[in-house]
A and B are shown apart, each in its own frame.
Chain A
Amino acid sequence: MKIKNGIQLLHTYLYGKADPEQKARVEKWYESLDDSAEMNEDLAAVKQQLYERTRAELDADSKVVPFYKTAFFRATAAAILVMCMGGMYLLIKSTGTNNTTVEVAPQILQDIAAPAGNKAVLTLADGTTIILDSTATGAFATQGNATVAKLNDGKIAYNAAGTTKPAVVQYNKLSVPRGSRPMQLLLADGTQVWLNVASYITYPTTFTGTERKVEITGEAYFEVAHNKSMPFIVKRNEMEVLVLGTHFNVNTYDDEELFRVTLLEGAVNVSDGSTEPKAIKPGQQATLKPGHVKSIKVLNNIDMDEVMAWKNGWFNFNSLQVTDIMRQIEKWYDVDVHYQGKPGDKHFTGIVSRDNNVSEVLKIMESAGIRFKIEKKNITVLAKQE
C-alpha cells in the first residue's frame, strides 16, 4: 500500500505496522543523508557535555525511585475527568451559613491570563543573578566543582565533576517569583526539586560532609536521591525535615497559618527543635505553627491530589474559604486582592486547570453569589449585598 502522507507513513513504521515496501522506503530515506559531511562543531566539548548529561541521568536512575507512575496516572485521571465534564470545573459546592442566592450580573470586565512562561532567577555564589528563561540551553556557569546547565526541558541541573572537595562550599539560590510557572531543579546529588510559584530555595552547589542541607521559603516538592550516610535536610525557620531518600511536598508560605509537610513515599522526620522529631508515613501530613513551640501535629488520610495539584497543573480547592482561594490566585496570577465588605465563611470545592484565565477560577465562587471586580492587576472581592 502506498502512503502519500509522510507523517502517516512514519506513524505506521514506528508502530511496527509497515509492510516491506513501506519499510524499505523509510529506511532508504533514513540512509539518504551524507554522514561524512563536515560539521562546524566543537566535538570535544560536545563529547564532554553529552557524557555528563547521560551519566547524570543514569546516576539519578540508580538513586531515585521513578515518580512517573503516580504522577502520570493522576494527571491522566484528572485530565479525563475534566474532559468528561467538558468544562472547566467539576464540582461546585458551597456550604455554610446564608444560602440565599441572588442573581448577579457578572462583574468581570477585564481578565488576567495564566503565567505563560517561567520567570525564575538564579543567584550564583558571587551574587550574580541570571534570568533563566533567556539563558540558552547547555552549561552556563561553574560553581566550585559543579557545572550548572540548563537542560532542554528548561530544568536547571548541577553536575559535580570529580571527587575532590571544593575549598569552600558555595551556595546558590533559585527563586520563582509570583506569576511564574514552577521550576525544576536537579541538585548535584541527583535530588530533584520542583519549586512552586512565589518560592525560593538555597542549596550548596556540591554536597560534602555528613549532611545535605537546603533551605526553602514557599512551596516545593522533593524527590530526594537516596544516600544513607548523608541525610537530606529541608530547613525553614525552626522547622527541619530530615530524610534519607523519599518523595514529599513542603508548603511553607508566609501568608499561610501553618507549615505543611506531606509525604508521598518513604519516611521523613519533622522537627522544630522544641520536641522529639515526629516521624510521618506516606499519606500523612505534618503541620507546624511557625513561631510556636511543640506545635507539630500529624494528620492522616491526606488528599494527595489536592496537595500535589500545583505540580500537576491544577487548582484543587477542597472546602476552602474565599480568602484561602484568593491567596493561591494572588501568587499564580501575580495580582493583589482587596476585599470590600466581609467575604463570608462559605466553603468552596472545585478543580480548575491552572492554564485558565483568572475569570474561570473565579466562576467557582461566583455561582454562590460572590462578585469580583478586576482592574489591571487588582482583584476586588465584593461582598454580597444582604
Chain B
Amino acid sequence: MPESLTDKVLLLATDEQIAFELLYNRYWEQLYKKAFHRLGNSDDAQDVVQEVFVSLWRNRHKIEVENTLAPYLFTALKYCIISQVYRKAKKGITVPLSIEELERIEVSTEELLEFKELQMIVNNEVANLPDRMREVYRLSRIEHLQVAEIAMRLNLSEQTVKNTLTIALKRLREKLARYSTICLFMI
C-alpha cells in the first residue's frame, strides 16, 4: 500500500493492518511527544496515545474526515490528556501540565475576545450553510448522532448523509482556513 494515500483513504482501506500501521507511523511521534511533555513519563504518554489510536480505529467507519486526520487525533488526545491530568490531580499526583499552573493562568480580554470571535466565526459559517446541510452538520457534530440515526431522522439515505456531511465540512474548512488553524479544531 503506497504511503502517499490520504488519511481518508487509509481509514477505509480493506487491508486494515497495513492501513493502521501507515497511519500510526504518520502520527504517533507528534502525539507521543505532546503527551510526554504534558504527563511527564513514558507509561502515561503511551497510555493516552494508545487510547487515541484505539478509539480512532474502533470508530473508523463512523468518522467523517476531509483529507487529514490531524484535527481529529489532536482533539482526541487533548481530551485524553486532560482527563488523565484530572484523574491524577484528584489523587494528588502532579504532572508537568499542572493544576497549579491552571489555577494561575489568566485569559486576557483580547484572548477571550479572539476565542469568542473564532467561535462566532465558526457559528456564522455553520449558519450560512444551506438548511439541509446545516441540519446534518448539527445532528452529527452537536448532537453526536451516528450517520444511520441522522439518515433515519431526516428520512435520507446513509450515503446522502455522508456526502452532505463531507461537503459541509469541506465548505467550512475552506471558509475558515483564512482565519486560524484553531478554527479547524472547533468544527
Residues of A within 8 A of B (CB): 4-7, 9-11, 13-14, 20-21, 23-30, 32-35, 37, 39, 41, 43, 46-47, 49-51, 53-55, 57-58, 61, 137-138, 152
A35 partner, pick from B33, B99, B111, B112, beta carbons under 8 A:
B33
- Whether B97 contacts A152 by the Cβ 8 Å rule is no
List the 6 shortest-distance A-B pairs measured between CB atoms, nearest first. A6-B99, A6-B102, A24-B115, A10-B86, A6-B103, A54-B50
Interface centre among A26, A39, A50, A58 (most CB of B within 10 A): A50
A39, B33: Cβ atoms closer than 8 Å: yes
Tell whether A7 pairs with B89 under 8 Å between CB atoms, given A20-B112, A35-B34, A57-B50: yes
Does B32 touch A at the CB level, under 8 Å? yes
Cβ–Cβ < 8 Å partners of A33 in chain B: 37-38, 96-97
A13-B29 in contact (CB<8A): no
Q: Do the beta carbons of A58 and B54 come within 8 Å of each other? A: yes
Q: Which residue of A lies closest to B85 (CB)?
A: A10
Is B32 touching A46 in the complex (CB atoms < 8 A)? yes
Selected from B20, B28, B99, the residue in CB contact (under 8 A) with A7 is B99
Question: Is there an interface contact between A50 and B32, defined as CB atoms closer than 8 Å?
Answer: yes
Tell me the bound Cα distance from A55 to B53 in angstroms. Answer: 9
Cα A50 to Cα B24 in complex, Å, equals 10
Q: Which of A28, A39, A55, A57 contacts B105 (CB 8 A)?
A: A28
Q: A32 near B105 (CB under 8 angstroms)?
A: yes
Contact B107 A25 (CB under 8 A): yes
List, in ascending order, chain B residues with CB within 8 A of A24's CB: 107, 111-112, 115-116
Query: Are B79 and A20 in contact (CB-based, < 8 A)?
Result: no
Question: If A20-B112, A58-B57 touch, does A26 touch B50 (CB 8 Å cutoff)?
Answer: no
Most buried by B among A5, A25, A137, A152: A25
Interface contacts beyond A25-B105, A33-B96: sample of 8 additional A-B pairs, CB < 8 Å, sorted by A? A30-B78, A30-B81, A33-B38, A47-B28, A49-B46, A53-B50, A58-B57, A138-B43
List 10 A–B pairs whose Cβ atoms lie within 8 Å, in order of A's numbering. Answer: A7-B86, A14-B86, A27-B115, A33-B97, A37-B37, A46-B32, A50-B28, A50-B46, A51-B24, A152-B47
In whole Å, how far is B76's beta carbon from the nearest beta carbon of chain A?
A: 13
Contacts A14-B83, A137-B43 given; indicate if A5 touches B89 (C-beta within 8 A).
Answer: no
CB atoms of A5 and B105 under 8 A apart: no
Tell me if B82 counts as interface (CB < 8 A to partner A): yes
Return the contact of A29 from the options B105, B112, B119 (Cβ within 8 A): B105
B23 to chain A, nearest CB (A): 11
Q: A7-B86, A26-B102 in contact; A51/B112 too (CB < 8 A)?
A: no
Chain B, range 16-68, C-beta contacts under 8 Å to A: 20-21, 24, 28-29, 32-34, 36-38, 42-43, 46-47, 49-50, 53-54, 57-58
Complex Cα gap A43–B45 (Å): 12
Task: Check: B174 CB closer than 8 A to any chain A CB.
Answer: no
Say yes or no: A39-B36 contact (C-beta < 8 A), given A6-B99, A6-B103, A46-B46.
yes
In the bound complex, residues from chain A placing their C-beta under 8 Å from that of B101 are 29, 32
**How far, in whole Å, are A23 and B107 apart by their CA atoms in the complex?**
10
B3 within 8 A of A: no
**Whole-angstrom CA separation of A64 from B36 in the bound complex:** 31
Interface assignment of B178: CB less than 8 Å from any CB of chain A:
no
Residue numbers in B under 8 Å from A37 (CB-CB): 37
CB distance from B160 to the nearest CB of A (A): 29
Residues from chain A with Cβ under 8 Å of B107 in the complex = 21, 24-25, 28
Looking at the assembled complex, report how far the CB atom of A107 sits from the nearest CB atom of chain B, in whole angstroms: 39
**Nearest chain B CB to A120 CB, angstrom units:** 20
